[in-house]
Amino acid sequence: MVVKISGKHINPEKPNMVKGYAEVFRSLHREGYRLAVVVGGGPVARAYIAAAREAGVNRALQDVLGIEAARLNARLLAAALHPEAYPEPPRSIWEALEAAATGKIVIAGGFQPGQSTAGVAALLAEALNADLLVLATTVDGVYTADPRRSPEAKLIPRLDYETLRKVLQQSVEPGRYELLDPLALSIVERSKIPVRVVNGSDPDNVARVVRGSDVGSLIATTKQ
């Protein structure tokens, strides 16, 4: 199982949240669940990207800064999970597979420029033949519109990949990815990986989903 956590939840400003996620993943790991976690860059990445943009840095190098910020967040969570977590965040799918083979919890940040951490999570889920990809976001699931801006937005409990493609109105600029970007969506669709979107503000929501509870929104084929 692969869990992607927003960098808004795992960052230096949220030590209690880091501790909460570490406790959840430690419990799940001891129950026998095999886990890989991808952490976003969050406000740390956005701060570096904004500074780089102001300094005239090109988009590719802005991406690199965002990747390194996400890797720092990943290291923070890995440190909190020691010794259950693999100590080094992987930089590629191959490194992630090698880390997963140890039986420890793999915690990754970004991989390469032009690719969101949602894309990394989707690729990792595909490479590991994961049963489920969990997106721990800042909202309760997938909505008909942005619930933070539109009071009329309604939660969609279940939808297929094509419906999600129509719902998403997102930016793909560095540090501004929401839910699944087009690459991540194409990966989960081609491999028919179910995706569960939950509010990551409560780490226990992730535990509930991993243990089989119906929380948030499920993105899957009509037959799953």
Q: Which residues are annotated as a binding site for ATP?
A: 4-8, 42, 46, 137, 143, 146
Annotated binding site: 4-8, 41-42, 46, 63, 111-117, 137, 143, 146
Work out the burial of residue 39: count CB atoms within 10 Å of its CB; fewer than 13 is exposed, 13-18 middle, 19 or more buried: buried
Annotated binding site for UMP: 41, 63, 111-117
Q: Which is nearest to 27 in space by CA: 202, 212, 206?
A: 206
* DSSP conformation letters of 146-212: -TTT-TT--EESEE-HHHHHHH-----STT---S--HHHHHHHHHTT--EEEEETTSHHHHHHHHTT
